[in-house]
Amino acid sequence: MKRIVASIVFTLMFVASFVPLQIHASEIEQNQAEPRTGIILIIEMYNLAKEQGTESPWGHSTQTSGNSLPVSGEGGYTSKDLVKDGQLVQRRYYDGEGKADMDIDYTDHGNPGQHPKVPHRHDWYWPPSGPPSRGPGY
C-alpha cells in the first residue's frame, strides 16, 4: 500500500512539474507576490507546512502503535503523526525521497533539562554512508 501511495505521489509530482498549476504566492504566504508552478509550488507548500508545524498538504497519516515513526519509506513531501493515548507526541516530515527531514516533538522526552522548550524541533541528517541521525533540539 505504501509503495502504491509513494508511486502516486511521485507521479503527481512529476506531472505537476510540467503542468502549469498556478497559484499566487499570496495564497501561500502574504509576503510573496509572484506566482509559483509545478514542483516549486509543491516544495514551497511543504516547507510552509514544516515552518508552521501543520500537516503536509501532499499527504499526512497517523500512527497509533509503537514508540517511534519510520525514518524512511514514506511518500515524498508528506508528514506523519505519532499519537499515544489520544495525545500527539511527534510529527515527522519526509523529504522528496521519503526520508525523515524534520521532527516536531510535543513532549520533553521525560527530560525537561535537556528539552525545556515544548514543542521543539529536530532536523535529520543523512550522511553519504552510515545511519541517519537526529540533530539537537531547537
Q: pLDDT digits over 108-123, tens only? A: 888 888 778 899 999 9
pLDDT above 90 (res 53): yes
pLDDT confidence of residue 27: 47
Answer for the pair 89, 83: CB distance below 8 angstroms, yes or no.
yes
Instruction: Quote the mean pLDDT of the chain.
Output: 81
pLDDT above 70 (res 14): no
pLDDT above 70 (res 64): yes
| pTM for the whole structure | 0.73
Residues contacting residue 72 through CB under 8 Å, at least 6 positions apart:
94, 97, 98, 99, 100, 132
pLDDT classification of 129: cutoffs 50, 70, 90: very high
Order of strands, sheet of 100-105, starting from the edge strand that comes earlier in the sequence: 60-63, 78-84, 87-94, 100-105, 120-125, 133-134
